């Protein structure tokens, strides 16, 4: 079971980063996820490059999450997409002629810009993977000129939207693989979007489908973690894709700590190919204790499943 730890912290202080990455590596993690928002690589490209290299130096693969590009993906900063702000006509237009704060993934200039940006990032920085975080776009049927031209039949608009989204994500992953076939692609969904998994597994350039089984954030019982996890793991396994389940180790208060352990147990019981969690992420009542519990839980993953350790032993 691969362990991925999301690192949502600035890369400005090399000594702090080194300590953090060594701690992450010591949990048995093989990868980090680092989010980039559009504004950031314009302002601190050196820090980004140095930080990602520091991760690779301790043996961690670097996966980049496209933070809120086009307002289509999640991201740690609650900031709107710079592109969408500057290109208001790229936005989704509903049947009443109202714009929504999200770029339409059928808008050609937006697509071209996004794919060019991805290619530029992959060529500029030491990156081993791209993570698509909670892709959105199905909430509203779009009546923008592009969507109307592509789907003249109004009664088919809902299904068309869904097909378009899958096609868009497929093209995004293909764009990554065109730069380098070894770069990994992951799409992580919220449980309410699990019905997309079957279609996502048809995308040849997508390697891993994940799910944010965040029971507490979604006001669900912790038992749901097992049901969601099982759906994801079974569907991806049938279609020879990898699965990844994310532990909610943020926004946890003292009462919820026990449930976090239960959630972890549910996650490992369905045997995903990978597990994800966060390094000191937001709004925990006792941040240090949550990270320590997370480390403790990760160490309970059977050691033989950790490929890195085999390599470590042989190199001694
Ligand atoms: Zn549209």
- Buried b / exposed e along 144-155 (16+ C-beta atoms within 10 A): bebbeeebeeee
The rounded Å distance from CA 148 to ligand 1 centre is 7
Kindly list the protein residues that place their beta carbon closer than 5 angstroms to ligand 1, a single-atom ion: 104, 106, 142, 144, 147
Distance in Å, CA 163 to ligand 1 centroid: 13
Centre of ligand 1 to C-alpha 92, Å, is 5
Q: How far is the CA of 108 from the centre of ligand 1 (A)?
A: 10
What is the Å distance from ligand 1's center to 63 Cα? Answer: 29
Cβ contact 8:281 at 8 Å = yes
Give 2-75+108-137+157-315's CATH code, choosing from 3.20.20.150, 3.40.640.10, 1.10.1530.10, 3.20.20.80.
3.20.20.80
CA of 166 to the centre of ligand 1 (A): 14
Question: Could you tell me where the DSSP H helices lie in the chain?
Answer: 14-26, 40-43, 45-57, 82-86, 108-124, 145-150, 157-179, 197-200, 224-238, 257-269, 287-299, 307-315
Percent of the chain that is helix, strand, coil (3-state, to 5): 50, 15, 35
pLDDT computed for residue 304 by the predictor: 54
Q: How far is the CA of 221 from the centre of ligand 1 (A)?
A: 36
| The pTM of the whole model exceeds 0.85 | yes
Q: What are the structure tokens assigned to 282, written together?
A: 């937001």
What residue segments make up the domains of the chain, in order of their start?
2-75+108-137+157-315
Cα dihedral 304, 307, 310, 312 sign = negative
CA of 98 relative to ligand 1 center, distance in Å: 12
**CA-closest candidate to residue 125, choices 28, 19, 49:** 49
Per-residue pLDDT for the chain (316 aa), expressed as one digit of tens each?
999 999 999 999 999 999 999 999 999 999 999 999 998 888 999 999 999 999 999 999 999 999 999 999 999 998 999 999 999 999 999 999 999 999 999 999 999 999 999 999 999 999 999 999 999 999 999 999 999 999 999 899 999 999 999 999 999 999 999 999 999 999 999 999 999 999 999 999 999 999 999 999 999 999 999 999 999 999 999 999 999 999 999 999 999 999 999 999 999 999 999 999 999 999 999 999 999 999 999 998 876 555 554 444 444 3
CA 146–ligand 1 middle distance (angstroms): 6
């Amino acid at each position: 079971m691969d362990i991925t730890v999301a690192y949502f912290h600035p890369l400005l202080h090399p000594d702090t980063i080194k300590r953090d990455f060594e701690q992450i590596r010591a949990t048995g993690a093989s990868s980090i996820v680092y989010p980039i928002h559009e504004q950031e690589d314009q302002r601190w490209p050196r820090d980004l490059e140095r930080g990602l290299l520091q991760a690779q130096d301790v043996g961690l693969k670097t996966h980049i999450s496209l933070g809120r590009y086009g307002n289509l993906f999640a991201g740690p900063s609650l900031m709107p997409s710079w592109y969408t702000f500057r290109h208001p006509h790229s936005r989704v237009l509903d049947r009443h002629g109202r714009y929504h704060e999200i770029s339409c993934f059928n808008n050609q200039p937006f697509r071209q810009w996004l794919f060019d940006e991805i290619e530029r990032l992959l060529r500029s920085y030491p990156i081993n993977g791209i993570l698509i975080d909670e892709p959105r776009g199905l909430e509203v049927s779009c009546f923008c000129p592009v969507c109307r031209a592509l789907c003249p039949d109004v009664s088919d608009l809902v299904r068309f939207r869904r097909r378009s989204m899958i096609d868009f994500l497929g093209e995004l992953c293909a764009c990554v693989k065109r730069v380098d076939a070894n770069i990994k692609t992951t799409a992580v969904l919220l449980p309410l979007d699990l019905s997309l998994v079957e279609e996502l597994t048809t995308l040849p350039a997508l390697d891993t489908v994940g799910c944010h089984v965040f029971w507490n954030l979604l006001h669900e019982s912790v038992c749901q973690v097992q049901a969601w996890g099982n759906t994801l793991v079974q569907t991806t396994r049938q279609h020879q894709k990898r699965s990844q389940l994310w532990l909610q180790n943020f926004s946890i208060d003292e009462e919820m700590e026990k449930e976090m352990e239960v959630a972890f147990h549910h996650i490992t019981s369905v045997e995903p190919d990978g597990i994800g969690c966060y390094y000191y992420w937001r709004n925990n009542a006792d941040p240090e204790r949550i990270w320590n519990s997370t480390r403790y839980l990760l160490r309970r993953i059977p050691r033989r499943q950790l490929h890195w350790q085999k390599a470590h032993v042989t190199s001694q």
